[in-house]
Structure 1
Amino acid sequence: MSAEGVEAIAIGASAGAVQALLRILPALPADYPIPLFIVVHVPPDRSNALVSLFAAKCQIAVREAEDKEPILPGTVYFAPSDYHLLVEADRSLSLSMDEPVNHSRPAIDVLLESAADAYGPALAAIVLTGANHDGAAGLKAVCAAGGTAIVQDFADAQVATMPEAALTACPSARVMTLDDLIPYLLTLAAT
């Protein structure tokens, strides 16, 4: 699939997420033009330290997503703890307290399905390391909408269950190591 025309990137990760994202996000320059939406499974009873952790290590802007917030280019949006993160058709973000999906809130499927509806073929979605099946149905929706689907190489993932399930649901997904993913994301910004 061509990298051209990607207007947004959605990423889902669970077990091993912090290590994987620490390889990817700091590699993005301050002027990276594409917004990134990220769901990491964070227990609801814990405060989400991801924003402060990544803001200190990244050149690109990093923030916690807020309800009804317009999407800005070149910004990483993390889902808050205990809220689903959705992308709306008007290119804004919304938060939901709907039931957990795959025992998770935020759930990767919710993000990917809503982003696929909002962006269609202009979305690139990435399922990284994790120990459950969250992200599989969402990546299938991205494929159905004509978006670019990517899963982390199983050998490269700390826990391969999630990327394996996503590839099964979306066999046309590209398989990449984290080292392959970084130049690919940089290429997206140049198209």
Structure 2
Amino acid sequence: MNTEAVLFDLDGTLVDSLPLIVRTYRHVFKEMDIPWGNDDVVKMIGLPLKDIGRRFVGEAAPAFEERYQYYYHRDHDLYTRLFPGTLEMLESLKSQGIRLGIVTSKGKPGTTRTAAFTRLDAYMDVMITAHDVARHKPDPEPILTALATLHAQAERTIFIGDSSYDILTGKNAGCLTLGVAWGLDSRTELEKLSPDGILASWEELQEYL
């Protein structure tokens, strides 16, 4: 394929942060007396926080976001870990001259903190967050913004994510789109959207470059 760039979703793809995210939502729901439905919440992970807040509390979304940010940052370092082999995979891609980026629906403060804490920021040429675009996943704008920054072509770029939103975003942007088998959505759910492949480990990525 002669790959120019590889773009990654963050949570559930590079970073094992689902326990942190669910724990944070539980705190917020309890404080704001919102009935907890685990499936309802998990299905919305991957959307911008402000959209999730509007879904559950309407006009009180700013208070929802404020509480979320407090608990998220308080517990971040205790519950944030890279998936095994992630830094080694990024090192390999860099050694091949491939440009790298993160495209996430997480806000800029959370993305910056996670990238610094896990050392992902040392490998990334671009990081596009919810604060950098007007339209969010599954709209292609986040990926297209990253491609413009990297001066890379969509048809020579791979986008990798763990959720249905990610698969749709990559396909909408015209990238070769891969799912991962260790994230939010199951392999069965991802396969329904016909990605170009689903990785069972980072070692399999080399086959698509």
TM over 0.5: no
TM-score by length of 1: 0.43
Of Structure 1 and Structure 2, which has the larger fraction of its residues in helix?
Answer: 2
